[in-house]
Structures are given as C-alpha cells and as structure tokens.
Amino acid sequence: MIVVMEPGAPEKQIDTVVRRIEELGYRTHVLRGVEKTVIAALGDEREKMRLQALRSLEYVEDVVPILKPHKLASRTWKKESSLVPVGPDVAIGGPEFVVIAGPCSVESEPQIMETATVVKSMGARILRGGAFKPRTSPYAFQGLEEEGLRLLAKAREQTGLPIVTELLNPYHLEQVAEYADMIQIGARNVQNFALLKEVGRAKLPVLLKRGMSTTIDEFLMSAEYVLSEGNANVVLCERGIRTFETATRNTLDLAAVCVLKRHTHLPVIVDPSHGTGNWQYVTPMALAATGAGADGLMIEVHPDPTVAWSDGPQSLRPDKFRELMQKLRPFVAAAERTLAPMEG
C-alpha cells in the first residue's frame, strides 16, 4: 500500500502517519517528492482494511494498493526514473548514457592498467573487472581475489574511473566494499536472497544482473530484496537468458529493457558481451540496446583477447571498442542522451 500525503503536509504529521503504519506491523519507506510525500507500507496485505482506515488521518490524501508483487521497484511507488550515483561524478539513469568497460577478470597489473587507460580515453565512465569469478568449473581460474581488488583500486587511482566488481558471497562484502565503488551481483547469484539482503544493508550502489533463467518479475523481486533493506541504488542489467538457441552463448532479451523501463523506475543497462558470447555480435547488440532505451552498457574489453584468462571470445580488442564507441555516438544522440567524449 502507498499512503499519499497532501501537498504541504507538515513533517510532524508525516511522522505520525509513519508511526501509525508501523504500529499496524508494517515496515515503512518514505519518499519525499517535490510536491508530495508518499509512504510505502510493506508487509502482509491481508490486513489492508486497517491501512485503509488511515484515510481518516489529517493530511492523508489517499491510500492506494501497489498491485505489482514488487513494490519499491515499481513505477506506482516512484514515477520518476531513478538516478544511481557511482563514485563522485557518474550517475546511471539520467541524461548521460553510461558505458562500463573492462576485462572479464583482472589478470595482472599491466593488463588492468592498459585496459583502464584505453577504455577511459574512448569514453567509458566506469571500469569493470572480476576479482572473484563465478566459474562453471572449479578447475577454471577463480580470480585474483584481494590482489585483483587492489589492482582495480590502482587503476582507479590512475584513471579516475570508479570501479564495479562482483561479490560472490556475504563473507567478502567488507573486503569488496573497501575497494569498490559499485557491487556487482552476477547472474548466478540473482536469487541468492541472503546475499541480496546483505548488499541491501550496504552503502554502495548495486549492479544486479539478470539470471539466465530469471523471469522479469523474478528479476524485479530480486531488486526488491535490495531496496527493502534500505539500499535504493540498484541498477538492473540484462545479460541474456537461456533459450533453445545455441548460436549465441545466451539469448539477449532486448524486449526486457522496454518491459523493465515501463514497470520500474530503476536504471537498466545491457551487457551484450555475456548476452552473445561472441565479440562480432557485441557492437550491433550494443547499438540495438541503445535504441531499445537502455541507460548504459557493460562491455568486456581486453588488450589481447586471444590470451584472456576468461571470456576471450566475447571480449573486444581496444581498436574494436573504439569502433563501438564511434558507432554508438549517433544512437545515443538519437536517444537524446549524452556520451562522454573520446580523447584525442
């Protein structure tokens, strides 16, 4: 349920309504808009008649149900698109189309430094790189772990780019949060509810990737776990789902971008690298994602994909990433967004 307060409702009265809702056994989230304040009552809606009684309180304009199973993620709760800040001067979901780029895994100091410098010069705004890798095989490279985090922080120091990196389990949260500007929850963990609750209590923004077999509704419910713990800074990432098709690694569901943008105020970005698994399809799908209304992209870039320790076949060489960024520019302009300039 949402309790809508009348414009100009005094703070004291808002507090009173919040207290009354909590006395009924609901959790509350208060959203102060320019004109009106709205209060979400989260909990078992079987008791909704008792919430309806709040209509009789002073300055309460309306009590309306949120019909979607996701509440805080829904546009019923928050009509304006959310802006998620990452580091001191980047925000996803606003006028700027934000490109996140970097290697699948952090492999060495020269590898991450070179990649960071190159992607920044071409207009990327956030550096990605895995330090803890979720690999299908336990014998595959699992990531440099804390050393990887240290190298990412060094790359941030050198380039000024904020960094996003994956958190695999709650035990590493403190360590990852010490280095990262944004925490990535990968496709394999999208329904790890214990992990979602932990990052919901963290201060850093969260990049939540869709699972390979997660429906859009389930994906939004995962976002709801993070939001309901108090972390409002969630960015959704479409990265392909599993279908009968085997010509691509996953089937990139670009229609999901339109569906998500309609039903949620959260920013939505697209990862055509994992979405296709083949570098040759990354640029066309990046352009298509921009056309579909995405707020940004996540692209895997490696100085030499032929020797990459993970996901070489889908990683772009620097010259191919430059080409992508050049081709992207008119698409971003057509979407009435801006793209950071390319240096030189």
Residues found near ligand PEP in the complex (CB under 6 A): 104, 130, 134, 166, 186-188, 209, 239, 274
Task: Choose among ligand PEP, Mn ion, none what residue 295 binds, the Cβ cut-off being 5 to 8 Å by kind.
Answer: none
Phi, psi dihedral angles at 125 (to 5 degrees) = -110, -20
Residue among 131 and 220 whose Cβ is closer to ligand PEP = 131
**Residue from 174, 169, 123, 124 nearest 149 by CA:** 174
Task: Choose among ligand PEP, Mn ion, none what residue 187 binds, the Cβ cut-off being 5 to 8 Å by kind.
Answer: ligand PEP
Residue among 93 and 240 whose Cβ is closer to Mn ion = 240
Residue among 225 and 281 whose Cβ is closer to Mn ion = 281
CB of 110 to Mn ion, least distance (A): 20
Is 96 within 8 Å of 338 (Cβ atoms)? yes
Task: Choose among Mn ion, ligand PEP, none what residue 294 binds, the Cβ cut-off being 5 to 8 Å by kind.
Answer: none
CB of 274 to Mn ion, least distance (A): 6
Q: How many residues does the chain have?
A: 344
Task: Give, in order, the Cα–Cα distances in Å from 317 to each of 9, 152, 187, 190.
Answer: 56, 19, 24, 29
- Helix (H) / strand (E) element for 158: namely helix 146-159
Residue among 1 and 100 whose Cβ is closer to ligand PEP = 100
Task: Choose among ligand PEP, Mn ion, none what residue 329 binds, the Cβ cut-off being 5 to 8 Å by kind.
Answer: none
Which position's Cβ is nearest ligand PEP?
Answer: 186
The residues binding Mn ion (CB under 5 A) are: 104, 311
Is 46 within 8 Å of 16 (Cβ atoms)? no
CB of 135 to ligand PEP, least distance (A): 9
Is 104 within 8 Å of 310 (Cβ atoms)? yes
**How far is 292 from 281, CA to CA, in rounded Å?**
16
Amino acid at 143: G
Residue among 188 and 329 whose Cβ is closer to ligand PEP = 188
Q: Which residue has the tokens 């546009």?
A: 75
Give SS3 for 171.
helix
CA 323, 328, 330, 331 dihedral sign is: positive
CB of 135 to Mn ion, least distance (A): 10
Is 14 within 8 Å of 30 (Cβ atoms)? yes
Task: Choose among Mn ion, ligand PEP, none what residue 186 binds, the Cβ cut-off being 5 to 8 Å by kind.
Answer: ligand PEP
Residue among 17 and 299 whose Cβ is closer to ligand PEP = 299
Task: Choose among Mn ion, ligand PEP, none what residue 103 binds, the Cβ cut-off being 5 to 8 Å by kind.
Answer: none
